[in-house]
């Protein structure tokens, strides 16, 4: 049975929706479960997900991310429905390292679509599983933030948070 949970984070409430197998269908910094549910592709959208206090590994991944460990979110299963190009972009997004943002054009090239910066932008717009498919790590050419479903202020905070992890990692390794 599908389920959803909203948990508090330092950046605001975070809600995740998972399918019966525990794969993330949608996620974001919101407590509006209906709006989040509307982001799920109609073929994957559950009728009435159970409301839970937490979602096991998914909730643990959200907590780990906010504590400075993005790896559990990166390896959490995600289920989204899109065309081949969109799916390739989503897959490539999961490989973008925290603290090292990319551009829409670079993302498109990495996903095998060298002229697909608009495809990359559209994939980010339609990405329902933010954090687990980290579209906040994509910038416009020249470094402008571009857009973000959960607001540019949050995107900037996420990028700053992730950049601080890289600084911390460099300090720990003596670089």
Domain ranges across the chain: 3-75, 84-161
Exposure string over 94-110, b if 16+ CB within 10 A, otherwise e: eebebbebbbbbbbbbb
Known catalytic residues? 135
Q: Using an 8 Å Cβ cutoff, are 145 and 101 in contact?
A: no
Is the entire prediction scored with pTM above 0.85?
yes
Q: Using an 8 Å Cβ cutoff, are 79 and 24 in contact?
A: yes
Tell me the pLDDT band of 156, cut-offs 50, 70 and 90: very high
Whether 174 shows a pLDDT value over 90: the answer reads no
Kind of pairing, strands 102-103 and 24-28? unpaired
C-alpha atoms less than 13 angstroms from C-alpha of 148 in its C-beta half-sphere: 24
Q: What percentage of the chain has pLDDT greater than the value 90? A: 94
Contacts of 139 (CB under 8 A, 6+ apart): 101, 102, 103, 104, 145, 146
First to last CA, the chain: 48
- Please give the class, per CATH, of domain 84-161: mainly alpha
Average pLDDT of the chain is 94
Rounded average pLDDT over 80-90 = 97
Contacts of 61 (CB under 8 A, 6+ apart): 72, 73, 76, 132
Rounded average pLDDT over 140-167 = 94
Q: How far is CA 92 from CA 22, 59, 63, 88, 122, in A?
A: 21, 23, 23, 6, 14
85 Rama sector, left if φ>0, alpha if ψ -120 to 50, beta otherwise:
alpha
Taking each continuous run of H as one helix and of E as one strand, the counts in the chain are 7, 6
CA distance 95 to 97: 6
């Amino acid at each position: 049975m599908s389920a959803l949970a909203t948990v508090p984070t330092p950046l605001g409430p975070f809600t995740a929706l998972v399918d019966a197998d525990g794969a993330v269908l949608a996620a974001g910094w919101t407590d509006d479960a209906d709006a989040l549910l509307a982001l799920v592709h109609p073929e994957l959208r559950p009728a009435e997900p159970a409301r839970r206090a937490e979602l096991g590994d998914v909730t643990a991944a959200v907590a780990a991310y906010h504590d400075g460990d993005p790896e559990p979110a990166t390896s959490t299963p995600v289920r989204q429905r899109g065309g081949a190009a969109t799916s390739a972009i989503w897959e490539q997004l999961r490989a973008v390292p925290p603290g090292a943002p990319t551009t829409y054009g670079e993302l498109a090239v990495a996903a095998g679509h060298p002229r697909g910066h608009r495809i990359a932008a559209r994939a980010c717009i339609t990405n329902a599983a933010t954090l687990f498919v980290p579209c906040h790590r994509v910038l416009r050419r020249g470094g402008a933030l571009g857009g973000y479903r959960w607001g540019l202020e949050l995107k900037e905070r996420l990028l700053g948070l992730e950049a601080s992890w890289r600084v911390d990692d460099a300090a720990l390794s003596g670089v």
